[in-house]
Chain A
Amino acid sequence: MEGRLGRGALTLWAVGVVLFLWLPLGIILVYAFNTSNIQSWPIPGVTLRWFRVAWNDPDARDALLLSLKAAFAATAIALALGTMAAVAISRFQFFGREIFSFLLILPLALPGVITGIALSSFFTFGGVNFSLWTIVVGHATFCVVIVYNNVLARLRRTSPSLIEASMDLGADGWQTFRFVTFPVLSTALISGALLAFALSFDEVIVTLFTAGAQNTLPIWILGKIRLGQQLPEVNAVVFVVVVLTIIPVVISQRLTQESGILRRE
C-alpha cells in the first residue's frame, strides 16, 4: 500500500525511535561499569566492582526483597479482583455497569499523585500504620485495572457462543469455567499479571506516599541518587534488573500473540 519511499521513510523513523528509546538506557548500562564516581561522558574506565558492591549491600537486598513481596501480593490481588470484575462487566447488564467500568479506569487514568495523597490521608485518618500492606494497597489499585483491562479485552474477543455451547453439551458452571473460560483467559491473565508485576515493581510516585520507613527498590534508588556517592551501584542494579526482565517480557509477548479463539478477519 505504501510506496517504496514511504516504506523507507517509515523504516528510518522506526529505527530512529528505537535508538531514541534505547540510547539513554544504554548509557545508564554503560555507566554501571564506570570506574569513577564522577558521571561525565565518556567514562574513564570499566570495572565490575559495582556489581559486587550492589550484591553485598544489605539495604539493596532488603529493598529488592520488599519490592518483590509487594509486587507478588499486588499482582495476586489484582488477578483475583480484576478477573472477577472483567467477567462480571462483560457478561452481565446490571444496574450501574457503565459507571462502574468508568470508575475502574480511574486508578490508571488519574495522576499517581492523587492516588498517593488520597490513600496517604485515608490511612492517616484511619490510624493505619504505613507498612508493606499500605504499599500493596496502593499498588493493587492500578494492578487490578491492568488485569481487568487485559481480561476484558480478551473476553470481548471471545464469542459467548462458546459458553453456551459448553452448557449445551452438559457442563455446569464450574466445569465451563475450568475447561472453556479459563484456557481462553489464561494467556490474558499471564500477560496481565506480568504487566501488573512490572508496574508494581517499578512504581515510585504512589509508593512514596504509602510507604512508611520501608524502602522498595525504587525508593532505595531514589535514596541512593540523593546520597550521590555511589551512583554506579544504582546503575549496576538497574543493569541486572533490565537483563532479568528480558525473559518475562518476551514470554508475555509470545503469549499475547497467540490471541483468542477468534482472530480478526
Chain B
Amino acid sequence: MAVRAEQAGRSTRAARRRLSAAFWRRPWLRGLTQLGPPAGIFLAVYIAAIAVLFVSAFWTLDPLSGEIVHDWGFQNFKTLWEEHVYWRIAGRTIGIAAAVTVTDIILAFPFAYFMARLASPRLRTVLFVLVLLPLWSSYLARIYAWRLILSSDGALNWGLGGLGLPHQHIAYTNWAMWIVFSYIWLPFMILPVYAALERIPDSVIEASRDLGARNRTTFRRVILPLALPGVVAGSIFTFSLTLGDYITPILVGNTQFIGNVVYRNVLGLSYDLPFAAAYAMVPLAVMGIYLILARRAGAFEAL
C-alpha cells in the first residue's frame, strides 16, 4: 500500500517535472499561460472600454429622445473647438494641474531628501507612517476639512484673527483648489521621490566627492539627475489626478474642471455620453503625451 502510494507520488512528481521542463524549454508557452489571463481580462475590459469611449466621441445625442445616434461625425469636437468656455475650462484645469505639480515637487523634495539621507532608520519608519496615514484616511473627509478651514469662520481666519491679521475669503476660489490639491496629492509625490533618493548608493556620492566635487555640485550633477525619474513619476500622479478630478471643484471650488463637464454629461446634467467622451479625449491626449515624455525620462522604473 505504502509502496503504491510512494509510486503514485513519484509519478505525479515526475509528471510535474516533465511539465515544468516543457515550460522551461518553451518560454513563450510559459509566457502565454502566465500572461494570458491577466492580458486577456485586462484587454477585454479596460482597453476595450477606453476604445469604445474613443469611438463614442464621434457619435451624437438626439436631443428629443435622449438616444445616442451612431452618426459618425466631428460635431462634438466642433462644439468644443468653437465654444470659448471649453477652452477656458481646459486651460484652467491644465494650469492648476501644473501649478499643483510644481508646488508638490517643491514641498516634497526637501522632505524626501531628509527622509532618505538624514533620518535614522527608526525615524524613517515613523515619517513613512506619517506620510502614508493621511493617504489612507478618507479623501473626501480631507477635502471637506479644508472647506471648513478656509471658510469665513473656519480655523484659518481664527488663526489669522489671533495673530491680528485680516480675515481672508479664500473659500471657493481657485486658490482654495490649488491649496487643497497640493495637500491631497503630496504623499503621492513624496513616495516616489523618496524611493528614488533612497536608491542612490552612498558609493556614488563618495565617488563624486573623491573626484573633487563640492556639495552643491554633487547635488546638482549627481543627486538631482538620479532623483529625476522619481520626481517625474510623482508628477504623473499629481498631474493626472488633478486633471481628472471633479469632486474637489464641487466641494471647495466655484469653477468647472474638465472632469466636471464630463461628470455632468454622464451622471448629472444629461446623458450626453458622446459629448462627454469627446471632452474626455482632452485629458487622455494630454496624459498620453505626458506619459510618453515621462517614459523617456525613465520615470517608469521609478513608479
**A interface, CB within 8 angstroms of B:** 1-3, 6-7, 10-11, 13-14, 17-18, 20-22, 24-25, 27-28, 31, 39-42, 80-82, 84-85, 87-89, 91-92, 94, 100-115, 117-122, 125, 137, 141, 144, 149, 167, 172-174, 198, 202, 204-205, 208-209, 217-218, 221-222, 225, 231, 234-235, 238, 241-242, 245-246, 249-250, 252-254, 257, 264-265
Contacts and interface: CB of A to CB of B under 8 A. Distances in A.
Interface of B: 13, 16-17, 19-21, 23-24, 27-28, 30-31, 34-35, 37-39, 41-42, 45-50, 52-53, 56, 107-108, 110-111, 113-115, 117-119, 121, 125, 127-142, 144-146, 148-149, 153-155, 158, 183, 186-187, 190, 199, 201, 203, 205, 209, 215, 218, 236-237, 240-241, 243-247, 251, 258-259, 262-263, 266-267, 273, 276-277, 280, 283-284, 287, 291, 295, 300, 303
List the 10 closest A-B pairs by CB distance, nearest first: A111-B244, A173-B20, A122-B49, A118-B49, A81-B38, A88-B35, A24-B145, A113-B244, A41-B155, A118-B53
Contact of B300 (A41, A105, A205): A105
Contacts of B121: 257
14 contacts: A14-B110, A18-B130, A20-B107, A84-B37, A87-B34, A92-B28, A105-B291, A114-B50, A122-B53, A172-B21, A204-B140, A205-B246, A221-B138, A221-B140
Which of A102, A118, A174 has the most C-beta atoms of chain B within 10 angstroms of its own C-beta? A118
B20 A84 contact: no
A113 B263 contact: yes
A246 B215 contact: no
Nearest to A100: B39
Given A14-B127, A114-B280, A114-B283, A121 B141 contact: no
Most buried by A among B23, B134, B141, B218: B141
A257 B127 CA distance: 13
Nearest to B274: A121
B259 A113 contact: yes
A7 B132 CA distance: 24
Given A24-B149, A238-B141, 6 more contacts: A14-B115, A111-B259, A114-B50, A204-B140, A245-B133, A264-B201
A1 to B, nearest CB: 6
Contacts of A205: 244-247, 259
Contacts of A11: 114, 118
B129 A250 contact: yes
B269 to A, nearest CB: 14
Interface hub of B148, B149, B186, B283 (most chain A Cβ within 10 A):
B148
Nearest to A119: B49
Nearest to B218: A1
Contact of B131 (A21, A102, A106): A21
Contacts, number: 280
A21 B134 contact: yes
B28 A94 contact: yes
A13 B111 contact: yes
Contact of B148 (A18, A31, A115): A31
Contact of B128 (A27, A81, A253): A253
A264 to B, nearest CB: 5
Given A114-B283, A117-B266, A202-B136, A221 B141 contact: yes
A17 B31 contact: no
Given A173-B19, A173-B23, A107 B262 contact: no
Contact of A10 (B49, B110, B129): B110
A254 B117 CA distance: 18
Contact of A174 (B20, B107, B142, B247): B20
B140 A17 contact: no
B46 A107 contact: yes
A27 B149 contact: yes
Contact of B153 (A40, A218, A254): A40
B100 to A, nearest CB: 13
B114 A121 contact: no
Contact of B52 (A21, A28, A122, A208): A122
A13 B138 contact: no
A174 B30 CA distance: 13
A186 B129 CA distance: 21
A39 B110 contact: no
B134 A22 contact: yes
A110 B266 contact: no
B41 A3 contact: no
A246 B110 contact: no
Contact of A111 (B48, B215, B245, B247): B245
